[in-house]
Amino acid sequence: MGLNSKEPGGWREALTGFPEFPRAGPVFRHSLEFVKASDIAEQYYCEMKLDLSYLLGRVPSDAKEEGERIHKKVFVMEEVEPKQLVPAIEKLKHVSATFTVYGTVGLLAIVGRPDAITFERGRPRWAIELKTTERNPAKLWTNQLVQVQTYGLLLDQMGFDVSKLDLVLARVQRVWAGRSDLADALLKKTLVLLRSDKYREYEADHPGTVKFYVIPYDRSEAERNILWAQDYWLGKREPVPAHSYGKCRACEYHERCDYSLYPRK
């Protein structure tokens, strides 16, 4: 089975076949066999930062570590084999899971793992991604939108019926999400609010702390994102810097970046 799994077997074969599918085709920049959806998103934040992260290695930060800790606490799910998930998707009215999504878009082989995917009557209804921030969450960043759009496109590539799919970005203040009483219930609360269509009321009750972006899946827009990104991975162009003072100031690589707008020490 190739990466595009709209073949006999459809999504069932795609869901259970990821570990074994042939790793053939081009090797991408940084000697990668696959490109991560999160890396494509990072290209829309600052491609130079992404490039340096591969060249120089990941630089830890308190914000990253706190965000990862919250993710682990919020998105706790029972681990099951993909073959066990297939009948659950087919038979249960509602089921939420997380698993690797993958596909070929343009010339890129892409993989990703949404924080949660909720199915209703056998179809993916919401692909959910949690983003924590130290500031007011009421701002939709292009790179975060690109990430969830890529997840939607990969579900589409795997053969799922995405006709009812919405992409959900839950942006939450890091301090608020870090409270144990709220973090434990955040995923369940998100699902309840989406199903009842009351997430706007919840935002109003928690001003400046949480924002839900619910975006209908658009295949053509998601494909355009990838087609812009792929030339970097194919080595057809050099990384493009963000040219943003604010991004450079916050960047952990600014001391070693030739394009940084933030003064070096």
pLDDT tens-place values along the chain, 265 residues long: 344 445 546 899 999 876 555 555 678 999 999 999 999 999 999 999 999 999 999 877 666 665 666 656 555 565 567 888 999 999 999 998 888 999 999 999 999 999 889 999 999 999 999 888 888 888 889 999 999 999 999 999 999 999 999 999 998 887 766 665 555 567 778 888 899 999 999 899 888 888 999 999 999 999 999 999 999 999 999 999 999 999 999 999 999 999 999 887 7
Residue 179 is predicted with a pLDDT of 63
Contact indicator for 72, 146 with CB cutoff of 8 Å? no
This prediction's pTM: 0.89
pLDDT score of 43 = 98
C-beta atoms surrounding 221 within 10 Å = 14
In 3-state terms the chain splits into helix, strand, coil percentages (rounded to 5) of: 45, 20, 35
Token pair recorded at residue 186: 């955040």
Report CA-CA distances (Å) from 63 to 9, 11, 46, 174: 42, 36, 18, 9
